[in-house]
């Protein structure tokens, strides 16, 4: 793979998104330009209603932009696909399948058939099962494999969602406020796990969040968005903290505090959120 593909793995060019509503057109995003390198961890942060999730849905291919182009690994994004796996805000596990079956669904789709693009031949059932088990083990849920989502806690459900996404070995992992609905302690634990997993898998990650600490702790690059409507990228902050990162060690690290201050400044001084009725 050439150097340019590695540094411009995901490329967003002049993207704008307008939604048609009953009250006329609603401009959600305008003039979004962003590049994400292979293996980079990018956080999208902004006040609610600033179009973070809209941008993530565009990268996922769930919606198509009104203007501009999104390019992933030199190919234009024209729809959703398993190479861009999504961890949804509310985990979106199928309640009638066990945790194992939920993860297996994705594994079977990606590895259970011949892939003409990368000339991979399909794997047999034992290999698919092994992949599923490995993914559940990675998030520490081997014990809960045969339970249904209704029988496990919110944090465990979110971990199954992450396992489902990671098991597909996606080129890009997209996360929409994955820990938003969890309590602070569970959230911290899952953030640490995510750090370890991402370090091991070298995944490219785009994560939507509204948590400043989460953004600084996890990312290489924080994309701060202006308030909507017609939101755009206000500032991009490079986080040059060495990895592996430790939450405890960083707590009184001056560089860490500096990044944290920069994000807070942006969010609460320059982009004061005004809730519209």
Partner 1 sequence: MNDFSKQRIINVLAPLTGLALLIGLWSIVSLTSTNNFPSPKDTLLQAIEVFKDPFYSNGPNDQGVGWNVLSSLKRVGVGFGLAALVGIPMGFVIGRFDFMSRMFNPLISLLRPVSPLAWLPIGLLVFKGANPAAIWTIFICSIWPMIINTAVGVQRVPQDYMNVARVLNLSEWKIIRTILFPAVLPYMLTGVRLAVGTAWLVIVAAEMLTGGVGIGFWVWDEWNNLNVKNIIIAIFVIGIVGLILEYALIKIATAFTYEEVKS
Contacts to partner 1 by CB under 8 A: 60, 62, 79-82, 84-86, 88-97, 105-106, 109, 148-150, 154, 168, 181
- Measuring CA to CA, which residue among 171, 175, 164, 93 is closest to residue 135? 164
**Where would I find the H helices in the chain?**
3-7, 52-60, 99-111, 125-138, 154-167, 184-201, 212-218, 247-250, 254-265
Q: In whole angstroms, how close is the CB of 169 to partner 1 at the nearest point?
A: 13
Rounded least distance, CB 96 to partner 1, Å: 4
Q: How far apart are alpha carbons 159 and 190 in whole angstroms?
A: 8
What long-range pairs does 193-199 form, CB within 8 A, spacing at least 24?
Answer: 193/139, 193/140, 193/159, 194/162, 194/218, 195/243, 195/244, 195/245, 196/244, 197/138, 197/139, 197/162, 197/166, 198/41, 198/173, 199/243, 199/244
Shortest approach of partner 1 to residue 101 CB, angstroms? 9
Task: Kindly tell me which of 83 and 213 has the beta carbon lying closer to partner 1.
Answer: 83
Cβ closer to partner 1: 93 or 195?
Answer: 93
- 43 versus 182: smaller Cβ distance to partner 1: 182
Sole residue written with tokens 């992450």: 162
Query: Between residues 113 and 270, which has the closer beta carbon with respect to partner 1?
Result: 113
* 68 or 180: CB nearest partner 1: 180
CB of 128 to partner 1, least distance (A): 14
Minimum CB separation from partner 1 for residue 148, in Å? 7
């Amino acid at each position: 793979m050439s150097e340019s593909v590695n540094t411009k793995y995901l490329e967003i060019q002049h993207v704008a998104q307008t939604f048609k509503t009953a009250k006329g057109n609603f401009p959600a995003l305008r003039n979004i330009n962003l590049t994400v390198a292979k293996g980079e961890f990018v956080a999208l942060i902004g006040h609610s209603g600033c179009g973070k999730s809209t941008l993530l849905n565009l990268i996922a291919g769930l919606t198509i932009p009104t203007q501009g182009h999104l390019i992933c690994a030199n190919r234009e994004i024209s729809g959703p696909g398993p190479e861009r796996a999504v961890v949804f805000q509310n985990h979106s596990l199928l309640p009638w399948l066990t945790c194992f079956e939920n993860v297996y669904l994705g594994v079977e789709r990606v590895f259970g058939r011949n892939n003409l693009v990368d000339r991979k031949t399909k794997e047999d059932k034992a290999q698919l099962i092994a992949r599923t088990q490995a993914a559940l083990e990675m998030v520490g849920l081997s014990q809960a494999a045969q339970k249904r989502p209704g029988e496990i806690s919110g944090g465990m459900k979110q971990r199954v969602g992450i396992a489902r996404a990671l098991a597909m070995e996606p080129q890009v992992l997209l996360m929409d406020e994955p820990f938003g609905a969890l309590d602070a302690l569970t959230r911290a634990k899952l953030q640490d796990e995510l750090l370890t997993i991402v370090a091991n898998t070298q995944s490219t990650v785009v994560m939507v969040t509204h948590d400043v600490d989460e953004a600084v702790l996890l990312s290489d690059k924080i994309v701060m968005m202006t308030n909507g409507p017609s939101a755009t990228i206000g500032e991009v902050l490079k986080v040059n903290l060495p990895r592996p990162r430790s939450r405890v060690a960083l707590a009184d690290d001056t560089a860490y505090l500096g990044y944290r201050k920069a994000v807070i400044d942006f969010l609460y001084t320059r982009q004061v959120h005004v809730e519209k009725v």
